[in-house]
Structure formats: structure tokens, C-alpha cells
């Protein structure tokens, strides 16, 4: 997979002919459509529910508006109303989530890209450990379950007064995202020939200029993938947000889960779930472009 000059899609495998091929096609599309329905079903259910009111819910499952229930926009307007007027006011958590995930993504991207470039281009030695070991050390942090880290984080943030602050959460997210960035970017940098760096160094760049003027622009697809993955992971985190913030900082996922246990009506619950995943669905569309190109293939081969 060359990221610089994408190879045209090639056809592999052995073709079947005749009746068997037709049968295979029919079965294949049936399977694909079945899975597609399974995938969209929860979203459609939530969408339908978000326009319901009491009668549409309490009588058992209903699906089609106008036909089975009278749609209202109550669930959606509740997102902007205060709790005093029966709403769930999601603007605050939404903004918090946006700020925290964007800032932590930016920091992780900055640190992780530099590290990945270093690991791809220079030889590092720490005793018996070399570049591959250091790379593995970064990536292996993904093994750590959040539940294990939550206790020391809780205590450390309390000591430093960062408990229940945006900054505290951002620091934790940076740690969570760094391995992802290093993982994706080391592989990307490895696909860019080192002669480009050397040409840049001879042309008059110092190593840092060679990095950001020559190599980085050629790794744009990798940066996009890393950025999107970071946003997905930080936007979707629930555990750290739950355990390290309470009152002052409220992010989307814990807010919605708490609504769930507070017996908030299904329609506003569904609406809030939909708005909170909407940016991620959009990201999925962009991500597909890059992932399906084979961007990840080298990364997985460890």
C-alpha cells in the first residue's frame, strides 16, 4: 500500500459462472441487506421514538409516525429546555464534550506525531531496548483497562486539585489517545521513503523543518485517520468522564446515562442519544474513505 500513489483497485479471486454465480449473488445481497438492517435498526428506532409522546410508547412498540402514533417534537425541544420546564438542556454537556475531545485530540496528535516520526526515522536505544520495543511500549498501553487506572487517576487528580475539571480530563484523554496516534502514524511514516528527509536536510532544512515541511504534508491521510480515531475515542469515553468529573464538568455520555437512570421519557432520551452520536456518524463517512483504501493493513500486521 503506497499512500503516495494509491494503487488502483485490483480484482483478485476466482470468478464463478452460471447458475451458481447467480445463486451466490442473491444470497450475498440478502446477507448484506440483512446486516445493513441490523446496523441501522437502533438508529431508526431511536429516531422514531424521539418523535413520540406517551401514547406512542406505553401501548407497546410502535414504529411508523402518523400511522401508529402522532408525532411531536417534544423530545427534540427538550434538548434546549431547562430541567425546570421539563427539559434536559444538553447544550452545556455538548459544548464540554466538544472542548475536551478537540483539545485532547490536538495535544495527543501533536505529541504522538512527533514521537511516531522520531521512532520511524531515528535509532533510539535504551539499554537492550530499541525502536520496536519503544513503539510496542506506546501501543501496549491500550491493554490497560480504564478500570485499573481509574483509582490512581482519581487520587492523583484529587491531590492536584484537578478532579472535576476540564484540564484533568484532558490529561487523562491524552494518555488514552497517544497510543492510537503512535500506532497509526509510525506505520504511515514508514511508508514515506527516508530519502525525502535526506533530500530536505541537504536542501537546507533542519530535522524539524524536514519533518513538518516535507514529511507531514505527505502523511495527510494518516493524520486524518489518527485525528478521526482520536475524536471518536475521546468523544465516546464514558468511564473516565464518569469517575473523574461530577458536577462542574459534565460530558455527554455520562449525562445521557444519568438521564437514563432518572426516568427521563424515552423521546427526549432518544433525541439526546441521536444528537450525541450524530458527529460520529458523519466521521464514519469520512473515515471509510481512508480506511477502505488499505490504510490500516500494515498497521495490523504486528
Closest CA to 99 of 45, 147, 167, 201: 167
Decide: is 85 part of the binding site for other proteins (CB under 8 A).
Answer: no
Residue 73 CB, nearest approach to other proteins (Å)? 19
Identify the residue whose cell numbers are 440483512: 34
Q: Of 45 and 80, which CB lies nearer to other proteins in the complex structure? A: 45
Q: Which cell numbers hold the place of 55?
A: 401514547
Residue 301 CB, nearest approach to other proteins (Å)? 4
Identify the residue whose cell numbers are 490536538: 106
Span between the terminal Cα atoms of the chain, in Å? 16
Decide: is 209 part of the binding site for other proteins (CB under 8 A).
Answer: yes
Residue 92 CB, nearest approach to other proteins (Å)? 17
Residue 22 CB, nearest approach to other proteins (Å)? 14
Instruction: Report helix, strand or coil for 129.
Output: strand
- From the list 64-72, 83-91, 161-169, 273-281, the region that binds other proteins by CB under 8 A is 273-281
Q: Which cell numbers hold the place of 202?
A: 541537504
Q: Of 87 and 146, which CB lies nearer to other proteins in the complex structure? A: 146
Residue 77 CB, nearest approach to other proteins (Å)? 20
Q: How far apart are CA 91 and CA 83, in angstroms?
A: 12
Binding mask 214-243 for other proteins (x = CB under 8 A): x--xx-------------x--xx-xx--xx
Beta bridge partners of 65: 69
Decide: is 16 part of the binding site for other proteins (CB under 8 A).
Answer: yes
Q: Applying CB under 8 A, which of residues 125, 213, 246, 248 lies at the interface with other proteins?
A: 213
Q: Applying CB under 8 A, which of residues 8, 152, 247, 263 lies at the interface with other proteins?
A: 152
Q: Which cell numbers hold the place of 83?
A: 430541567
Q: Applying CB under 8 A, which of residues 19, 64, 67, 147 lies at the interface with other proteins?
A: 147
Q: Which cell numbers hold the place of 121?
A: 526515522
Beta bridge partners of 147: none
Q: How far apart are CA 223 and CA 226, in angstroms?
A: 5
Residue 86 CB, nearest approach to other proteins (Å)? 19
Residues 272/90, Cβ–Cβ less than 8 Å: yes
Binding mask 100-129 for other proteins (x = CB under 8 A): -----------xx-xx-xxx-xxxx-----
Residue 60 CB, nearest approach to other proteins (Å)? 6
Beta bridge partners of 126: 129
Torsion of CA 93, 254, 275, 47, to 10 degrees: -150
- From the list 68-76, 78-86, 161-169, 269-277, the region that binds other proteins by CB under 8 A is 269-277
Amino acid at each position: 500500500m503506497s499512500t503516495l500513489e494509491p494503487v488502483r483497485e485490483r480484482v483478485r479471486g476466482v470468478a464463478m459462472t452460471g447458475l451458481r454465480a447467480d445463486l451466490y449473488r442473491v444470497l450475498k445481497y440478502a446477507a448484506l441487506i440483512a446486516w445493513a438492517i441490523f446496523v441501522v435498526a437502533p438508529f431508526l428506532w431511536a429516531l422514531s421514538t424521539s418523535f413520540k409522546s406517551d401514547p406512542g410508547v406505553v401501548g407497546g412498540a410502535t414504529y411508523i409516525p402518523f400511522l401508529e402514533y402522532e408525532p411531536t417534537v417534544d423530545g427534540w425541544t427538550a434538548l434546549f429546555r431547562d430541567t425546570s420546564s421539563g427539559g434536559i438542556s444538553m447544550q452545556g454537556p455538548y459544548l464540554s464534550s466538544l472542548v475536551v475531545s478537540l483539545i485532547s485530540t490536538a495535544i495527543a496528535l501533536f505529541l504522538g506525531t512527533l514521537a511516531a516520526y522520531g521512532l520511524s526515522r531515528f535509532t533510539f536505544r535504551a539499554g537492550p531496548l530499541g525502536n520496536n520495543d519503544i513503539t510496542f511500549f506506546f501501543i501496549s498501553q491500550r491493554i490497560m483497562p480504564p478500570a485499573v487506572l481509574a483509582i490512581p487517576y482519581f487520587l492523583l487528580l484529587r491531590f492536584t486539585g484537578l478532579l472535576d475539571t476540564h484540564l484533568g480530563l484532558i490529561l487523562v484523554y491524552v494518555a488514552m489517545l497517544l497510543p492510537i496516534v503512535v500506532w497509526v502514524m509510525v506505520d504511515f511514516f514508514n511508508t514515506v521513503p527516508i530519502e525525502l528527509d535526506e533530500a530536505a536536510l541537504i536542501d537546507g532544512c533542519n530535522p524539524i523543518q524536514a519533518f513538518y515541511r516535507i514529511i507531514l504534508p505527505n502523511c495527510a491521510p494518516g493524520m486524518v485517520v489518527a485525528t478521526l480515531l482520536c475524536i471518536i475515542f475521546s468523544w465516546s469515553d464514558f468511564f473516565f468522564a464518569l469517575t473523574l468529573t461530577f458536577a462542574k464538568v459534565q460530558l455527554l455520555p455520562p449525562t445521557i446515562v444519568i438521564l437514563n437512570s432518572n426516568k427521563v421519557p424515552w423521546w427526549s432520551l432518544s433525541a439526546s442519544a441521536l444528537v450525541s452520536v450524530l458527529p460520529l456518524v458523519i466521521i464514519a463517512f469520512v473515515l471509510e474513505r481512508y480506511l477502505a483504501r488499505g490504510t490500516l493493513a500494515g498497521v495490523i500486521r504486528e
